[in-house]
Amino acid sequence: MNTFESKLIEENQKLLKKLDQQAQLLAQKEEKINKLQLKMMEQTDKIDTLIEQVEFLSKKLFGSSSEKTKVDPGQLTLFGDPVLEEPLTKDEPTEEITYRRRKTSGRKAELTKDLPIEEVHCELHGEDCTCDHCGQAMKPMGKKVVREEVCFVPARLYKKVYISHAYECDCHDPNLEAKSIRCAEVPKGPIQRSLAGPTTLAWLFHQKFELGLPTYRQEKEWSSYGLEVSRKTLSNWIIRASFDWLEPLYKLFLDKLRQQEVLHADETYYQILNRSDGKPATSEARIWLIRTIKDVSHPIVFYHADLTRAKSVILELLRSFKGWLHCDGYIAYKDLPNVTTVGCWAHARRKFQEVSTEHGKAKQAVHFCNQIFRLERELIHLSPEERQIQRESKIRPIIESFYQFIEGIRTVKGKLQTAIVYAQNQRRALTEFLSNGRLEISNNLAEQAIRPVVVGRKNYLFSTSVKGAQANAMAYTLIETAKANGLNVYRYLTYLFEKLPNCEFLVNPQLLGDFLPWSKIIQENCK
């Protein structure tokens, strides 16, 4: 091999080496570009997710809390003003109404028909009732009602003192060592050695649990009435009265709930400062709710306070219960013995409503849900048997179409994917209501029943002890059950705190039946 050929080979090798280096550089650049593209796609997905979250939180913070679908602007509303909804064009003639229309009477009379009446007669006397022309006294000729007003009488406290009278016999029998003495029996109070009477306790419970007024605010109100009592004392009154007189009925309610065939359940977070499990006060406890269905003769609304959200709680509450349970998708309700869960279409629809407005597919899913609710409202007047037949023919096809639709949606992440997965995982529970006409399409009844606890929690924020939380649960149970049975809560609580301390229900538990909200004597006295 000559020198020229060796140089040529050497240059070719250098060239090949240089080409290999350039190829490696290109491969590295392509790999870097691919990584950057992948990173950009991830960042784009993250930005879309964050935008979706911002829109969702903004809607939660500033938007309407109602889940009702917005009405088409071209559609007239039932209670709307057609003049405002269909503005006149410039070419249409207008007519100005100049006369005054007489206001419809009877509204004020309807509002005040049950109030006692105090008449104030405005009359003329002396010179005001003398004729300016002849100077003679004027005679009455008639009267008319000019104005009505409602007057308020503030609450009034007074002290009731029970005095027991003693009696002795004047018999002169020399064989008797002492005279026969007998004392009149005094009714027992709800709390021994306490100033709290039945009406005071009833008003205290009414203020806190029905009106959501915490004890630190009630402390000021009781002071304005003339009773200087601390918030700690008020809280102790609630705990003591609940455990002594409400707990027996509270346990009886739970026993009767377990005998039902269909129930609703829900829970909400709660805070207990001094926890017995050693966890910090910032840990969330729970208020559990179980209630009867709407169409039942004796409705019961039951609350239970617990430190945890574990499945063991609902297992204990529903011990010996056999039937259907309306609930949400929380895993604790899954695979309960002898219990068939019924899903909530309001939860399923809500998850699609939380999706960003840019996703038209979410709107279509909401439309399917609205159709199901609309048809269900049309069947509300039917018997359970007829409702089940109509559901099979009218609602089941829409549900099948709904699931075919969401199965065709392709999405990787975000709230739309969350809504689809929830609906698919809950399919068996969401279609269970089709099997029985007594079942509901949603768990809204339980969500409405849990609202008093949520409102109260916003006011008094927390319970200091576990016993305080349990007392609150008892009070809510008695009050909401009383309301569900059409009772006046204040009268019912007054009756309980007055009669139960003087009733031997511990010896004869059957006596508690007379204190249930639907008993004849309670309905007659506390309706």
- Asked if residue 366 belongs to a domain, the reply is yes
- Tell me if 428 is assigned to some domain: yes
CA distance 454 to 461: 10
Q: Are 263 and 342 in contact (CB under 8 A)?
A: no
**208: DSSP letter:** I
Residues linked to residue 339 through DSSP beta bridges, in sequence order:
323
What is the reported pLDDT for 74? 46
* Residue 361, domain member (yes or no): yes
Is residue 389, in this structure, part of any structural domain at all?
A: yes
pLDDT at 1 over 90: no
Q: How confident is the model at residue 180 (pLDDT cuts 50, 70, 90)?
A: confident
235 falls within a domain: no
Token pair listed for 150: 């409602």
Decide: 317 and 290 in contact? Cβ < 8 Å: yes
- Quick: pLDDT tens for 54-63: 766 776 676 6
The confidence score (pLDDT) of residue 129 equals 87
Number of structural domains found in the chain? 1
pLDDT of residue 202: 96
In degrees rounded to 5, what are phi and psi of residue 302?
-115, 130
Exposure string over 350-371, b if 16+ CB within 10 A, otherwise e: ebbbbbbeebebbeebbebbeb
234-248 burial: b if 16+ Cβ within 10 Å, else e: bbbbbbbbbeebbbb
Convert the pLDDT of each residue in 415-446 to its tens digit: 888 899 999 999 999 999 999 999 999 999 99
Question: Is 223 contained in some domain?
Answer: no
Range of the domain at 417: 344-441
> Tokens standing for 149?
């007003």
- On whether residue 388 sits in a domain, the answer given is yes
Within a domain: 381: yes
Q: Which two tokens stand for residue 207?
A: 């203020």
Average pLDDT estimate for 174-191: 83
Across the chain, what does the average pLDDT equal?
Answer: 86
Q: Which tens digit of pLDDT belongs to each residue from 81-106? A: 433 334 444 454 555 555 566 555 56
187 pLDDT higher than 50: yes
pLDDT of residue 154: 80
Whole-model pTM over 0.85: no
d(CA 517, CA 131): 65
Q: Which helix (DSSP H) or strand (DSSP E) does residue 183 occupy?
A: strand 181-183
Q: How far apart are CA 499 and CA 45, in angstroms?
A: 66
Specify the pLDDT at position 104: 56
Pairing of strands 262-274, 463-465: parallel
Q: Write phi, then psi, for 182 (nearest 5 degrees).
A: -140, 140
The whole-number average pLDDT for the span 12-22 is 82
**Rounded CA separation 254/259 (Å):** 9
Determine what percent of the chain is predicted with pLDDT higher than 70: 88
Whose tokens are 């879309």? That residue is 48
- Segment 96-122 shows an average pLDDT of 73
Residue entry with tokens 């915490």: 214
Mean predicted confidence (pLDDT) in 473-499: 96
CA 285/CA 297 separation, integer angstroms: 33
pLDDT higher than threshold 90 for residue 124: no
Model confidence at 8: pLDDT above 90: no
130: which DSSP letter? B
